[in-house]
Amino acid sequence: MQHILVATDGSEGADRAIDYAAHQAKDTGADLLIVNVVGGYGLPDNMLKAFSRAPNAWLEEMLTSVSADTLTKARERARSIGVTMIQIESRAGDIAQTVIDIAREKRANSIVVGKRGTGRITGLLLGSVSQKLASLAPVPVTIVP
């Protein structure tokens, strides 16, 4: 069985990636794994972790809620295209590395991402997630414009 991993941050670019991956999954009979990584937001991982400790525990709850909402919308989008085998997963960490880790763990055959997500300024300064994935991923990466 083929496994297509698609990463989403809820942006328009990620929606296009969901559509592309869903059509690929439907056409090939592959299952679809939709992933959202709580990280980035222009903050270094150590700063994000510091903010999520008490008394700021509300931040972690909010990010978890936003991630769940993002994944639910993405799953419904893929279902509307006709994909039936869909898994969703949310994790925290460095976005590109976490996507790569999930791809390895779940034995994904390919990764699909949007060209630009919500982190435009960070992407300009540090290199976008899609660029990092294209350089480091152990499987083919499709970058959807």
Q: What is the pLDDT of residue 64?
A: 81
Q: What is the pLDDT of residue 77?
A: 98
Q: Round to whole Å and give the CA distance between 108 and 137.
A: 11
| 3-144: CATH number | 3.40.50.620
Residue 54 CB coordination number (10 Å): 7
Token couple for 136 = 């480091």
Low-confidence ranges of the chain (pLDDT < 70): 40-60, 117-127
Q: Round to whole Å and give the CA distance between 12 and 6.
A: 14
pTM for this prediction: 0.84
Q: What is the pLDDT of residue 123?
A: 42
Q: At what angle do helices 12-28 and 57-81 cross, to 10 degrees?
A: 40
